[in-house]
Amino acid sequence: MQWIGELNEIFCSIGISEDIAPLCSFLSIVAIAYLIIHTIVQILYKKKKIDAETKAFYIFVSPWIFGFLVFTLGPMIYSFTMSFFDWELVTDPVFAGLGNYKKLISDEYVRQSLKVTFTYTFVAVPLQVVLGFLLAFLMNSKIKGITFFRTIFYLPNLVQGVPQMVLFLWIFNPNIGLLNAGLKVIGIDGPGWFTDPNWSLPAVIIMSLWTVGGTMIIYLAGFQDISKSLYESAAIDGANGFKKFIHITIPQMTPIIFFNVITAMIGSFQTFTQGYMLNGGVRNSVLFYAYYLYQNAFKWFKMGYGSALAWLLFVIILIFTMLVFKSSDMWVFYEQEMISKKKKRKKKV
């Protein structure tokens, strides 16, 4: 933006170095924005449109509002605008209309990356949710030394991203890897894993279970929040352990399951590190959508096309998140809702 450049020149003209001038410009913009928000709030308060508590709220939240507008909403609007342009950074943007979006339809790499991402999401997410739930159920036991095992299962969650990928590149090595060595002991010749296009994605899915300890901790908190009186009442009615699990534990845990499904699904759609470390894998077997977006925007400098890819990913995540939210009415049960339903049943009786 030209006016930002002019602001930098003003700071340079008063003796501030070129390295510090952009920071001074940014801080000036922040100060001006805060002053505007403060002035508006003050005017509304004097006209008695808002009370003192509301005034304090807006003043304290104003830094976040500014950050959201500048670092989130602003870049989103800018990227949406640039998705209608051909722009390779070193050249001037050229308006292309819907050209970038039409290219998405015919791009075979988009189809491949979506196939990889969808397959990973719809296999890895259920595995993570179910395994985390069962693991937390076991870790909720009242036995000696259980805190040690909880710690052991959670520790792998601290090693994520590139270190995790480096570790599994060694584990899945077809010649000297730990996994194939273990399989060889029981008489099984292990596959090539990351060197085999048929096994690359299954290897990444198996690798995703490494961080299931984080999900386990959230479930564990939910298990410990279930009222013991529910189990005691069920025991008086003659319910065994399995019936308690089906009719008390699972319904009480559905809000936690819902949360973990949403967060895991959104995270899996944005999987990047595995594709980056493997450079898309053999025959693009692990060409995740987020990595293909990165290639176009930051490797090949096709910013316009990269912006279109980003907005397609945004729409995909939004649609599937809305579908899960819509389906939650059928399988997510909140304690207050369950109490109100019981009261209605009693009234009918």
Closest by CA to 155, choosing from 208, 210, 207, 204, is 210
Q: What are phi and psi of 279, to 5 degrees?
A: 55, 40
| pLDDT at 48 (0 to 100) | 83
| pLDDT at 25 (0 to 100) | 73
The CATH 1.10.3720.10 portion of the chain extends over: 104-348
The CATH superfamily assigned to 104-348 is: MetI-like (1.10.3720.10)
pTM of the predicted structure, to 2 decimals: 0.84
| pLDDT at 343 (0 to 100) | 52
Q: Answer yes or no: are the C-beta atoms of 308 and 104 closer than 8 Å.
A: yes
Residues 6 or more apart in contact with residue 228 via CB below 8 angstroms: none
Amino acid at 310: A
Q: What are phi and psi of 88, to 5 degrees?
A: -115, 30
User: Could you give the count of Cα atoms lying within 13 Å of 117 in the half-sphere of its Cβ?
Assistant: 27
pLDDT tens by residue, the chain, 349 residues: 455 666 667 767 777 777 777 777 777 877 887 788 888 888 988 888 888 888 888 888 888 887 888 788 888 998 999 999 999 888 888 999 999 999 999 999 999 999 999 999 999 999 999 999 999 999 998 888 899 999 999 999 988 889 999 999 999 999 889 999 999 999 999 999 999 999 999 999 999 999 999 999 999 999 998 888 888 888 888 888 889 899 889 999 999 999 999 999 999 999 999 999 999 999 999 999 999 999 999 999 999 999 999 999 999 999 999 999 999 989 998 865 555 555 555 555 5
| pLDDT at 51 (0 to 100) | 87
Q: Answer yes or no: are the C-beta atoms of 326 and 143 closer than 8 Å.
A: no
| pLDDT at 159 (0 to 100) | 87
